[in-house]
Amino acid sequence: MRDVVTMVLAGGRGERLYPLTRDRSKPAVPFGGTYRIIDFALSNSVNSGLRRIYVLPQYKSLSLMRHLRDGWNILATELGEHVSALPPQLRVGSHWYRGTADAIYQNIYTLAEDRPRLVLILSGDHVYRMDYRPLIAAHLARGADVTLAAIPVPAREAFRFGIVETASDGCVTRFREKPADLDPEGPDVVANMGIYLFNTDVLVEALSRDARLEGSRHDFGYDVLPHLVEAGRTVLAWTFRGDEPGRPPYWRDIGTLDAYYEANMDLVSVSPEFNLYDRGWPVRSARVLAPPAKFVFAGGEDGERIGEAHDSLVAPGAIVSGGQVERSIVGPWCRVNSWAEVRDSILMDGVVVGRHAVVRRAIVDKGVVIPAGFRLGVDPDEDRRRFLVTDSGITVVPRHEKL
């Protein structure tokens, strides 16, 4: 795998995840209690034996850069292994990254220095588990110029994705970006997962051409890949079937607050679709330097005050002090005080829930203090006066918001 360089696109604004992206980029948004979204692409890479990794940040990158420094300084740099950040260098222009293709093009000098045979391009804002080695093997076996990972999705969801059409040999014949004219009751379609494996010479040639085109979006799905298909290059669609026997493939583009909430809530189910507990495929992250979670008060003589959590993930450093937690994710250093109730919610780092407070169907960002007796997520109309409430009724409280 030393002939492969991995480049992770991590500059997305994540506007549909606002206010969670008010102070951070989408790949840096916390997920599952102790992770950041980018950890899944990085863990997949390292677990697949890919150890030359560049992360391309852009907007509001401080949180992401700190996370990479604290959590991903784990490889043997003396052996050429690394996870390195590549902010816009402005070496080939005076602008920031204008699209996914332009982000790679602006770092074309890095490819010239590293001289890899293959370049694997990933999105840093998807949650999934994938061993990239079968993808690489299929690419080499077929002699493809480009191989993209694809996954079957119901036709009714096609409008959310880039859709590819293929010939019987698996080669792509057409790209359709988020089509709205497909029969929602029709057969499954094949969605582009935003995972691309290029022969380096093909990539450099395609990006150099795209950079000269006026009117280009400088995007792989809209511009670069359709041109390669039209030019007769071999663009192979490799179908992702999943890596765990008996489980359907899991891949989530958590581009909206509702999708983000649902993906988190799946983790607390009895049999989650995404398995965080496979010791053979660890999901790495920055280590939380905190003691184990603590649950105190087992009920006094009156039996009223019991600190407990059910069907929940509770991170290190959290204290459930006489409160009740159900079907929720409680981040590091949170505190749920006596007689408080937290249900179907996500609490990020350092959230404090006061006595007798109620939190239901909410996403509460870092550092928020919920006063004693406060009711959040109980009355959506009341919440809308102060907070964002999603279409499905999830109340979202921004980071360090004063209640």
- Give 186-233 pLDDT, tens digit per residue: 888 899 999 999 999 999 999 999 988 888 889 898 899 999 999 999
| Per-residue pLDDT, 185 | 80
CA 118-220-15 angle, to 5 degrees, is 120
How far, CA to CA in Å, does 264 sit from each of 32, 58, 62, 177, 331? Answer: 6, 25, 24, 27, 12
* Assigned token pair, 248: 């359907």
pLDDT cut 70: percent of the chain above it = 98
Could you tell me which CATH number the domain at 4-266 has?
3.90.550.10
pLDDT digits (tens, 9 = 90+) for 135-182: 999 999 999 999 999 999 998 888 888 899 999 999 999 988 888 888
| Per-residue pLDDT, 205 | 96
| Per-residue pLDDT, 12 | 77
Q: Which has the minimum average pLDDT: 221-230, 294-303, 351-360?
A: 294-303
For the segment 262-274, the average pLDDT, to the nearest whole number, is: 93
- pTM as predicted: 0.93
Q: CATH: 3.30.1490.20, 2.160.10.10, 3.30.70.270, 3.40.50.720. Which one for 294-397?
A: 2.160.10.10
Using an 8 Å Cβ cutoff, are 337 and 352 in contact?
yes
| Per-residue pLDDT, 226 | 93
For the segment 6-19, the average pLDDT, to the nearest whole number, is: 90
> 59 or 383: whose pLDDT is higher?
383
| Per-residue pLDDT, 133 | 97
pLDDT digits (tens, 9 = 90+) for 362-380: 999 999 999 999 999 999 9
Helix ranges (H only) for 236-373 are 257-266
| Per-residue pLDDT, 92 | 61
| Per-residue pLDDT, 266 | 95
- Domain-wise residue ranges, the chain: 4-266, 294-397
**Other residues' Cβ atoms within 10 Å of the Cβ of residue 100:** 24
CA atoms within 13 A on the CB side of 393: 8
- Side chain identity at 62, as an amino acid letter? L
Q: Is 350 left (phi over 0), alpha (psi -120 to 50) or beta?
A: left
Q: Whole-angstrom distance between the N-terminal and C-terminal Cα of the chain?
A: 51
* Cα–Cα distance, 327 to 209 (Å, whole number): 51
Using an 8 Å Cβ cutoff, are 342 and 364 in contact?
no
- β pairing state of 126-128 and 235-239: unpaired
- Kindly report the average pLDDT of the chain as a whole number: 92
* Cα–Cα distance, 123 to 192 (Å, whole number): 12
How far, CA to CA in Å, does 94 sit from each of 89, 91, 214, 292? Answer: 9, 8, 16, 48
Q: What is the three-state SS of 63-118?
A: HHHHHHHHHCCCCCHHHCCEEEECCCCCCCCCCCCCCHHHHHHCCHHHHHHHCCCE
For the segment 298-313, the average pLDDT, to the nearest whole number, is: 82
* Assigned token pair, 207: 């990006």
